[in-house]
Amino acid sequence: MRYRHPDPAQIRIDGVLSALGHPVRLASVRILDGGGVHNCGDIVKILGATSKSTMTHHWRVLREAGVIFQEPSGRENLLRLRRPDLDTRYPGLLDAVLAGAATDDVTD
């Protein structure tokens, strides 16, 4: 099964913000921003205990908002941040969000 992804022109800012506006999804995006393709199981390991069905939901929200590419690979899924698409469509947004998340780390 291949997943459907929105074209860059179909991405909407409210969907992106809503997708990023959850601690687990934001933490996942921060990991993915390290670059390259990540196995979803590896991200779950880094984030700690979260049920598989919950993560399936989170990947779907991120994918449908246009934040990540998700491709099946055997029994796993490979995830990749759509940074070029997001940076082109909403310049500075992802940088500001990720810097903001780092700011919160210091405050917490």
Sheet holding 76-81, edge to edge: 38-39, 76-81, 68-73
Tokens 């779907």 — which residue?
A: 60
Residue 91 sits in the site that holds a copy of itself (CB under 8 A): yes
* CA 64 to each of CA 14, 22, 103: distance values in angstroms, whole numbers, following the listed order: 12, 15, 27
Query: One symbol per residue from 2 to 41: x for binding a copy of itself (CB under 8 A), - otherwise; what is it?
Result: -------x--xxxxxxxxxxxx--x---------------
Report the nearest approach of a copy of itself to the CB of residue 16 (Å): 7
Residue 57 sits in the site that holds a copy of itself (CB under 8 A): no
CA distance 81 to 32: 6
Measured from the CB atom, is 28 or 77 closer to a copy of itself? 28
Positions in the binding site for a copy of itself (CB under 8 A): 9, 12-23, 26, 89-93, 95-97, 99-101, 103-104, 107
